[in-house]
Structure 1
C-alpha cells in the first residue's frame, strides 16, 4: 500500500470525527470542507511510518489547519458578520438527531465565535474531544499550563453565555410547539410562562437591513416581541432540527427560506432563541428542511408533522 492510499483510508475511517472537530472550531460547513481539503493536501508532506496514532495525528492536523483559518478570519473581522452556519434538517422522529453529529447548538456557536482562536481550540479539542492538554498545546503554540488557562477562560464564557439544553428532544419540541402556538395567537401571558426570566433573544441579520433587534434580554421584552410579530411570522414556520435541537424554518409563499430559528430549552422553559435572517446562511442547498404540510393559523396541532 502506498502512502497516498494509506492516508486516504485513514481519512475515510476518521472523517466523521474530523468533520465534527472542524465544525465545532469553524462553525461553517463551507469552511469545514476547505479545512479537510487543506488537511488532506498536508498529508502529502507527512511520513506514515512516523505516525503512531492516526486518529490523534489527523485531529491535530485538522486543528492546526483550523487555527490558521480562525486567525485569518480574525484579521479581517471588521468585514465579517457572524461566521457560523446552521445545520438544518426535517423535524421528524427523534432518531433524526443522529444526522446532526457535527452540530453544536446555535447558542454555543455564538459564544465560540466570540472567543480568541487559541481559546476556541483549547476548549473544543480538550473538553469536547478529549485531547490531552500537552497535545493541544502543540496546536495552539503554547505551553500545556498556558493552554489549560486558555481552556479555563473559554469554559467560563461558555457556562455564562451558552446554556446547554437539559430537556430531551421530545420535551424540547413540546415547549417550542407551545411557544409557536402562543406566538401565533399573540398571547403575551402564555409566551411569558414559556420563557426563562433571563431568556436571551439574538438575531443574526447579516448584510440585510435590521429586521429584528440584535439582542433582547428578559422574559417580558422577548414575550412582547414574540406577541407582536408572532401572528404574522409563526404561520410561516415549519418544525425542524436546527443544530440537533428543536427549531423552526420560516418560508415565504414561494417556499424560499427566510429565517431559521434555534431554541435552547432548559427544563420546561426557553433559555435562548437564535434567529438567523442572514440570506448568505439561508441558501437552498444549506437549508434542506421541507415542511410536510402547510399550517393554517387556526390549526390546533401546529408544529406536529402528520
Structure 2
C-alpha cells in the first residue's frame, strides 16, 4: 500500500463513525449500515480523492446515495410476514455486534426508528439528512433526484408523519405516558406489585392469536391475573418503547426497526383499564405510528 493510500485510509477512518451513524439512522440496521460504510470506502478509494475539497460532505452524500439505493431495493422485494409467531425474546441484532447495535438504537430511539421505517426511501433520506445532520436542501436534492423545493416538501411530509397527530389533550397525553412508562418499567423489573399499581382492578388484557402462544387465552381479566402474566411480556420489555399508536400512547416491541408487537391501552382514573397485544402483520400494517411529543 502506498503512502497516499495510507493517508486516504486515515482520512476515511477519521470520519467512519459519522458515516456509520448516517447509514444507521437511514437504514435502521447495523449490519446494513456496515455494508453501506464499506461501499462508501470502495467508492472513495476508486475516486480522485485529492480533488475532494470537503471530505465529510462528500462522504455524507456518498453514503446517503448508497443507503437510498438499498432502501429502494428493499422496497422492491416482498417483505416477509412478521408477527407470527412472536419469539419470547426479540433480539435487536441477530448478526454482527448486538451490544453495539443496542447502543445505537438507544442513541437514536427505538420508536423513531420504527416510525422512520414507514417512510418512503426518499422521505427517510430527506428527513434524516436535513433534520438530524443539517444537510441543506440544495445539497440533498441531487441525492434524492428532486429539486430543492420538492426535497423540502419530502422532508416536511416526513416530519408530519414522524410527529403524527394526537387524539387527546397534551395534559391527558402526558398523564397517559406517565402511566405507560410506569407499566413498562415495572414489566422490565418483573415487579408484579408495581404492575398491579397501574392497573384497574377489573383490567382486561386482550391479544390476537399472533401475539400469544396457542395455549394462552386471548383474554385475561382482573389485575392480579393480568399482572401475573406480565413476566411473559417482561422478557420482551427490554426492546419496548413508548410511541403514539393511532394518536394515543402505546408501546412497540421492535426487532431492528420493524414492529413485532404493539400494545394499545385504555385508561380511566390514571390507571390502565385494558390493553391489547397486536402482532398480526395485517393489523400492524394498519396502525398509524408516530413519535411521542
TM-score normalised by structure 1 residue count? 0.58
Structure 2 CA distance, aligned partners of 1:81 and 1:236? 18
Q: 1:144 aligns with which of 142, 148, 152?
A: 148
Structure 1 CA distance, aligned partners of 2:37 and 2:157? 28
Matched, 1:27 2:24: no
The aligned counterpart of 1:218 is none
The 3-state SS of whatever aligns with 2:198 is helix
Matched, 1:177 2:185: yes
Matched, 1:153 2:153: no
Describe the shift of the 1:69–1:229 C-alpha distance in structure 2 as closer, same or farther (beyond 3 A). farther
The aligned counterpart of 2:228 is 231
Describe the shift of the 1:179–1:38 C-alpha distance in structure 2 as closer, same or farther (beyond 3 A). same
The aligned counterpart of 2:75 is 74
The aligned counterpart of 1:86 is 92
Q: Identify unmatched segments of 5+ residues in structure 2.
A: 84-89, 167-173, 175-179, 201-206, 214-219, 261-293
The 3-state SS of whatever aligns with 1:124 is helix
Structure 2 CA distance, aligned partners of 1:89 and 1:232? 28
Structure 2 CA distance, aligned partners of 1:226 and 1:69? 46
| Contact 1:63/1:139 (8 A) holds in 2 | yes
Q: Deviations over 1:266-297 (max 9, x none)?
A: 9xxx944222479x999xxxxxxxxxxxxxxx
The aligned counterpart of 2:210 is 210
Describe the shift of the 1:149–1:2 C-alpha distance in structure 2 as closer, same or farther (beyond 3 A). farther
| Contact 1:123/1:154 (8 A) holds in 2 | yes
How far apart are residue 9 of structure 1 and its match?
Answer: 1.5
How far apart are residue 261 of structure 1 and its match?
Answer: 2.6
The aligned counterpart of 1:105 is 109
RMSD: 4.6
How far apart are residue 15 of structure 1 and its match?
Answer: 1.5
The aligned counterpart of 2:119 is 115
Q: Deviations over 1:47-82 (max 9, x none)?
A: 112211111111111101100100000001344659
Structure 1 CA distance, aligned partners of 2:143 and 2:8? 20
Q: Deviations over 1:162-210 (max 9, x none)?
A: 9xxx9xxxxx987743455697349566146xxxxxxxxxx9x9xxx82
Structure 1 CA distance, aligned partners of 2:50 and 2:8? 11
Structure 1 CA distance, aligned partners of 2:225 and 2:255? 18
| Contact 1:67/1:121 (8 A) holds in 2 | yes
| Contact 2:243/2:252 (8 A) holds in 1 | no
The aligned counterpart of 1:42 is 43
The 3-state SS of whatever aligns with 2:239 is strand
Q: Deviations over 1:117-151 (max 9, x none)?
A: 00000000000011111111111111111100000
The aligned counterpart of 1:304 is none
The aligned counterpart of 1:292 is none
Structure 2 CA distance, aligned partners of 1:40 and 1:68? 16
When Rg is computed on C-alpha atoms for both structures, the one with the higher figure is: 2
How far apart are residue 89 of structure 1 and its match?
Answer: 5.0
